[in-house]
Structure 1
Amino acid sequence: MNKKEVTVAKLGMGMETIIDNQKVRTIKKLEKMFGHIDYRNPPELCPVRDVMSVASDQWSILILLWLGYFSVLRFNKLKKYVYGISNKVLSQRLKVLEADGYIERKAYPEVPIRVEYNLTEFGRLYVDKLLDLAEWMHDNSPKVLANRKRYGLE
């Protein structure tokens, strides 16, 4: 039987408790990310919330994952793979993802113009993190579905 290493961690309310190292690491990461933020400030003053709002919306995630899978895609192919997205929303998301540095857009001087999109190195690093999260979701989806069923939310 493995013995868990334990440590004392100070929590936000001045409480002390003995918890395992994973919880301590989680708390330290959360404090690093959110410890300096005044919750009374509007969301636009929080850089983490701003970046998360762009990088974690459903359309951006799908766009980035498909670009990670295919390496290079044109607008209409992206629209085909990101099922249900409108031209307007796809165009908006691509512009924001390019501005934030996740993707690059390459236009070729042809008639008709040909435009291709691909991930930047920064975008590839983010897709790797998304895949870790997607793997966790895949592994835990039976548990989530069972919980939904238990609560009548099938």
Structure 2
Amino acid sequence: MKVTNGELAEKGSKEEIINHFCDVKKTNDCPITDVLARISDKWTMHTLIILGKSDKLRFTELKNQVEGISQRMLTVTLRTLEEDGFVTRTIFPQIPPKVEYELTTLGRSLVVELISLSNWANDNMKAVLEARERYILKQN
């Protein structure tokens, strides 16, 4: 199905839309590829969305809300999010040490887009599952 000019007009001019996409043959300098590679692993989106629902969370609170994540994976995920500027980490010098994580302005803006993607997925999941089923039947 081709995207119509009307659908493109809602997002901007056709040229503006096309210019936002990268040459699919050149992935090295592609912002879309770079950002998606960083956030599309098993844990990152879940972590971002949970942080988006809260003002600030301590490590243990966050770990308890990201079902199934190990301490090591949460640490790696949070470090990557901090490196990319999506999360800030605040250390309070006390005993025991207290560390809080919260989304930055950049992180909050990403979560807004993830909510749009989530809404699209919820609205279209039935059609996706039906398409998968048709595909499997066609293969047999």
- TM class by shorter chain equals 0.7 to 0.9
Tell me: CA distance 1:149–1:38, structure 2 relative to 1, closer, same or farther (3 Å): closer
CA deviations 1:81-117 (Å, max 9, x no partner) are 1112121111111011011111110111110101010
- Asked whether the 8 Å contact 2:8–2:17 carries over to 1, the reply is no
Measured after TM superposition, the shift of residue 30 of structure 1 is 5.3
Give the Cα separation in 2 of the matches to 1:49 and 1:123. 18
Q: Is 2:89–2:99's contact at 8 Å kept on the other side of the alignment?
A: yes
Computed over aligned residues only, the root mean square deviation of the Cα atoms, in angstroms, reads 2.5
Where does residue 21 of structure 1 map in the other structure?
6
Give the number of the structure whose residues are more often strand, by fraction. 1
Whether 1:74 aligns to 2:58 is yes
**For the structure 1 residues 57 and 111, does the alpha-carbon distance in structure 2 shift closer, same or farther, using more than 3 Å as the test?**
same
Q: % of aligned pairs identical?
A: 36
Is the deviation greater in 88-97 or in 21-30?
21-30
Q: Which structure carries more helix by proportion? A: 2
Distance 1:114 1:79 in 2: 15
Look up the match of 1:6: none
In terms of mean alpha carbon deviation, does 126-135 or 44-53 score higher?
Answer: 44-53
Q: Relative contact order (alpha carbons < 8 A, sep ≥ 6): 1 or 2 greater?
A: 2
Q: Identify the residue that residue 106 of structure 1 maps to in structure 2.
A: 90
**Number of residue pairs matched?**
133
User: Residues 47, 145 of structure 1: CA spacing in aligned structure 2 closer, same or farther, 3 A cutoff?
Assistant: closer
Residue in 2 that maps onto 1:13: none
Inter-partner Cα distance in structure 1 for 2:63 and 2:102? 14
Q: Distance in 2 between matches of 1:136 and 1:72?
A: 27
Which digits, 9 at most, give the CA deviation of each residue in 1:68-91, with x for residues without a partner? 112211111211111121211111
Unaligned stretches of 5+ residues in structure 2: none
